[in-house]
Amino acid sequence: MDAGELGLRYLTTSARIRRTVDERMAASGVSLARTKILQVLAGLGPVKQTRLATELGMAARSITQAVEAMERDGLVKRSSDAADKRAKVVSATPAGLAALTAGEASGDAVLRSIFERLGPARLEALDEILEVLGEHD
């Protein structure tokens, strides 16, 4: 198998694993995308919506749509920034933090079930390979 074919196989496998993780996390109450938003909020506390978008590498419109949906579901709360009434500050609600905990546990469980099959030696080799792949230009 040449490098191009292996690269395509890697991308296909990665997408399949991501889909499986997202489906299992969503079944526990929060998708992978929502988990990432909640992780930022749990780590930073309340932040301006624009900073949240920057932290996640998302477009302003995309983060607005995600936050609006999460607010409707009771996972986050938005309020006006005291210094700039046009800006919105986003914070995780207690329900959002509980969903984050459940989602992370679900995601961790599925990833462990997939990757523990490799065994310690292959996990170490995969770690080294991913390190090299992460250094691309």
Distance between CA atoms of residues 119 and 76, nearest Å:
39
Residue 131, pLDDT above cutoff 90? yes
Tokens of 114: 């997939």
pLDDT band of residue 137 (cuts 50, 70, 90) is low
Coil, strand or helix at 82? coil
Tens-place pLDDT, residues 56-106: 999 989 999 999 999 999 999 999 878 877 888 999 999 999 999 999 999
The pLDDT of residue 83 is 80
76-80 and 88-92 strand pairing? antiparallel
The pLDDT of residue 84 is 77
Q: Find the domain containing 106 and state its range.
A: 3-133
* Phi, psi dihedral angles at 46 (to 5 degrees): -60, 130
Amino acid in the structure at residue 115: F
The pLDDT of residue 78 is 95
Distance between CA atoms of residues 47 and 51, nearest Å:
6
Count of domains forming the chain: 1
The CATH number that applies at residue 74 is 1.10.10.10
pLDDT averaged over every residue in the chain: 94
Q: Are 41 and 91 in contact (CB under 8 A)?
A: yes
Residue 18, pLDDT above cutoff 90? yes
Name all contacts of 114-121 with Cβ < 8 Å and 24+ positions apart. Answer: 114/17, 114/20
